[in-house]
Structure 1
Amino acid sequence: MVILIGNQKGGAGKSTLTLLLANYLSQVRRRRITVLDMDYQQSIVTKYEKAKVLENPEPYEVIPCDLKHFPVLLEAIQRKKGELLLIDLPGKMDDDGLIPVFLSADLILCPFNYDEFSVDSTLLFAMVTQRINNHAPLLFVPNRIKTTVRYETRQQVDQVLERFGKLCPGIADRVDFQRLSTNETPAIVLPVVLPLLEHLYEKYIPREGAS
């Protein structure tokens, strides 16, 4: 299964969501995971290399990936039975090299923030991805929700996004996410993220061995 995590706008939380899902699937659900880091900042690769320097166990492999190398890597990873492939997409939509990536997807996750620029980029991402791949479920993940802020337009935003896909449980804004690594999700953030992660696993990710 191939799961894409993307949004055109930087700072939407792509890499954080990728790490949260990879940690959950590998450590809680004991699934075999590979992560492809296509983001230009390579933040997941950096955390992965830091964990190796500290001689921490590697619950899954993180591979930096250029778009041109994707077809070969995809073929190699899909030979591994039961492997779940998570892809942290680059923050752009203007490269034809992305087309094979989107076509490979079985599930597409789009984290976003409730602000004008994030919502605009989220809508563009949704329109482009659905033109390329209209069979993979597209799920929107509200991110960095501040409990002290009133979101007057939230209902309207949700209604627009639901024309393209489904809304998932959101993630509250927590400074503790800075401690997230490739081998640990801080226990203090688990109550914040488990409703989302369990929702994704129960509804959208086939059990190992399922066709």
Structure 2
Amino acid sequence: MVILLGNQKGGAGKSTLCLLLAYYLSSIQKAKVTVLDMDYQASVSGKFEKAKILENEPIYEVIASDLKYYPALLELLTQNTQEFVLIDLPGKMDDDLLIPVISSAELIICPFNYDEFSVDSTVLFSLVCKEINKFSPIVYVPNRIKSTVKYETKEEVDRVLTRFGMVSPNISDRIDFQRVGTVHIPAALIPVFMPALDFIFNAHMRKGASP
């Protein structure tokens, strides 16, 4: 199953969410997972290489790749129908090489926040994805939500986003997220992100994880 994680807005937390989802699928759902790091910052693959240097056994594979190699990689990685291929997308949507990536998606996950700039970029990202791939479901993950802030536009934003897909339970803002790696997940974060990932898994991934 090919799953994209993306948003044009920097700081939405898509790379961290990609790491959390890879951990969730490989460790909790016992599924085979490969992450394609196509973000220009390469933060996921950077953490993966650092973990290997520290002699930690990886629980899933991470491949840093340029967009132009995607068709060949996809053909290899999707030979196993039970494997989850997670793709950390670049932050920009103005590259034609993204078209085959978005076209191949079976699920699109979009982290966002309830501020104006994040919502605008999320809607634009959704419009581009739906123009290229009309059939892939989109799940929006309210991410880095501060418990001390009242988001006055929350209901209105959720209503707009449900025109494109589903909105998951939110993930609270926690300093521990800075310590998330490809092997290590702080235990205190488990109850913070599990509701959102359980929601996504039960809604769209369970079939892909069946033996």
Interval containing the TM-score (normalised by the shorter chain): over 0.9
The question of 1:198 aligning with 2:188 is answered: no
Kindly provide the amino acid, as one letter, of the partner of residue 63 in structure 2: I
The alpha-carbon distance between structure 1 residues 116 and 208, as it changes in their structure 2 partners (threshold 3 A), is: closer
For residues 127-178 of structure 1, give each alpha carbon's deviation from its aligned partner in whole angstroms, at most 9, with x where no partner exists: 0100111111111110110000111111111111111111111100000001
Alpha-carbon offset, residue 197 of structure 1: 1.1
TM-score, normalisation: structure 1: 0.97
Q: Contact 2:139–2:200 at 8 Å: present in 1 too?
A: no
Q: 3-state SS of the aligned residue for 1:63?
A: strand
Aligned to 2:7: 7
Kindly provide the amino acid, as one letter, of the partner of residue 208 in structure 1: A
Aligned to 1:108: 108
Q: 3-state SS of the aligned residue for 1:48?
A: helix
1:76-155 aligned within 5 A: 76-155=76-155
Q: What is the alpha-carbon root mean square deviation over aligned residues?
A: 1.0
For residues 68-122 of structure 1, give each alpha carbon's deviation from its aligned partner in whole angstroms, at most 9, with x where no partner exists: 0000010111123411100000001111100000010000000001111111000
Alpha-carbon offset, residue 49 of structure 1: 0.3
Q: 3-state SS of the aligned residue for 2:209?
A: coil
Aligned partners of 2:78 and 2:43: how far apart in 1? 24
Kindly provide the amino acid, as one letter, of the partner of residue 106 in structure 1: E
1:17-56 aligned within 5 A: 17-56=17-56
Alpha-carbon offset, residue 209 of structure 1: 4.3
Aligned to 1:156: 156
Alpha-carbon offset, residue 208 of structure 1: 3.3
Q: 3-state SS of the aligned residue for 2:192?
A: helix
TM-score, normalisation: structure 2: 0.97
